Amino acid sequence: MTSRLTIALAPGDGIGPEIMDATLRLFKEAKVHDHLDFRPVAMGKSVFDTGNSKGITDEAVRAIEDCGVVFKGPMETPKGGGGKSINVTLRKLFSTFANFRVFKTLPGVQTVFSKAGIRLDFSIVRENIEDTYGGVEHRLSNDMIQCKRLISAPGCDQVHRFTFQTAKRLGVTKIHCGHKANIMKMTDGLFLERFRAVGKDFPEIETGDVIVDALCMNMAIKPQQYQMLVLPNLQGDIVSDLAAGLVGGLGFAPSANIGSNIAIFEAVHGTAPDIAGKGIANPTSLILSGLMMLRHVGLLKQAAHLENALLAALETGLRTGDFGDPSLPGYRKEPATTAQFVEGIIERLGEKPKTVPAVAVPEQATPTFAHPARPSGQQVIRTFVNVVTTVVGCDIYLDTPLSPPAVAEEMQRVAQDTPFKLTLISNRGTQVWPTGSVYTECVDYYRVRFELRDGVAPGAIGQSRAVALMDKIAEKFVVCSYELLRSFDGVRGYSLAQGQ
């Protein structure tokens, strides 16, 4: 621990520099700068424009690794050109596996629920590394494109343990796991299974689970029934933006990305280039994200004073042009500029809100954050060890316009004199051979499944025989991809087809 910490600072693009300057002005008045130094790092549009497709310089990467904490404004993702989202790159590069977002009804921010007198206060933890956000995509045939969905047991364990630890620290008594395990029985099934496994270490916290489509309906009708949610990456991304809409929009939803070594605090709304440079942007989301950062590093007292001042200012009717509540006695017809908005908060430093509960002010006012030692190399994380695996077959994916019966005839011929027999052909996940419907329309991409012949014991052959079969098929067909079929401790490690 040290009396001063250095935070990597990335102001962002569009309105980013304006709202970052406003937030740092507020921090300075709250004496945050007595303990924190901010080190600018280069990332975002200016780096993309140099031809760097990563959107971040090597110097910035090393600076972030040295600091352990990043505070950033909204970043622009280039349209076309191959550059990927800098926001996703940062989260994955530094293994910030948990995206933590808090959704609260704020005074002066009018929503359907605030009009009904319903106060919302819940949070969402989103797995931040895996799922479809690996961006692993391939064109497999003329008409078929694939995106791989990757879910690992260690990745699930990390995000679930963070969720339960955070719930315990905040006094949350129930966590729901959102998922689609009724359809994606292996990937979402693993996410749900590990949620339940980790939850056993926290018996004081009640657990529940909800299918994600039902969750979205419930949140539109009665979001106050939830305290904390944890979801896989893509579902969590969608549901957390839905949740932001319930409290007024992304401009009021702070975001933290937490890993074992590095944490990123950011505004997740857009860069709003149409109003950039006009001095009218709303800095609330970045301010709230900054308060999460202050709490992360141990400046609890400063964070509480700032949050109370923000709430006190909002309940007077202080607003920028993108929000407001005309029912408030102090509602201002003329919206504040970004600078005036921050000055209104500064004027109320030391005050507490009167219309909503005030935040308790702890005594802790010096940094407690200790940046972990730099790893000697990339770490391999594991959950299941000493698992007995056996080869039981393979799935081979073909690019061909042939009909299912014609594909079957060719595959059965190729599989002769091998340990495998053809057991399934599917198209877009639906079985089309040996049984199926003439109404099932097919595209030019098939999965053909081979399993061990009767009399060949599991474990009697290895992967090389499956690869040899694929090689034989590749002499006549375009093989797009190949998946080895295995059992794990006697449990099938692959899904069945629809209709199988």
Mean pLDDT of 153-182: 98
For 261-306, the DSSP string reads S-EEEEE-S---TTTTTSS----HHHHHHHHHHHHHHT-HHHHHHH
Q: What is the pLDDT of residue 441?
A: 97
Q: What are phi and psi of 25, to 5 degrees?
A: -60, -45
Domain ranges of the chain: 1-120+247-372, 124-222, 389-492
| Coil vs helix vs strand at 74 | coil
Cβ contact 253:105 at 8 Å: no
- Per CATH, the number for 1-120+247-372 is 3.40.718.10
Mean pLDDT of 215-228: 97
Mean pLDDT of 256-284: 96
- Between CA 136 and CA 142, with CA 137 as vertex, the angle to 5 degrees is 165
Q: What is the pLDDT of residue 76?
A: 87
> With a threshold of 0.75, does the pTM exceed it?
yes
Q: pLDDT digit string (tens) for 374-397? A: 999 999 999 999 999 999 999 999
Strand partners, 271: none
Mean pLDDT of 447-465: 94
- For residue 246, give both structure tokens: 């319930």
As a whole number, the mean pLDDT across the chain is: 94
The label of the residue with tokens 């093989």 reads 479
Q: What is the pLDDT of residue 500?
A: 77
Q: Per CATH, the architecture of 389-492 is what?
A: 2-Layer Sandwich (3.30)
- What is the bridge-based pairing of β-strands 389-399 and 445-452? antiparallel
Cβ contact 303:271 at 8 Å: no
**411 against 2, higher pLDDT:** 411
| Residue 222 pLDDT grade (very low, low, confident, very high; cuts 50, 70, 90) | very high
Assigned CATH topology for domain 124-222:
Nucleotidyltransferase; domain 5 (3.30.420)
Query: Residue 386: which residues within 8 A CB-CB, separation 6 or more?
Result: none
Mean pLDDT of 155-160: 98
Cβ contact 142:101 at 8 Å: no
Closest CA to 265 of 4, 1, 46, 12: 12
Q: pLDDT digit string (tens) for 63-115? A: 999 999 999 999 987 765 556 788 888 999 999 999 999 999 999 999 999 99
How many angstroms separate the CA atoms of 445 and 430, rounded?
Answer: 12
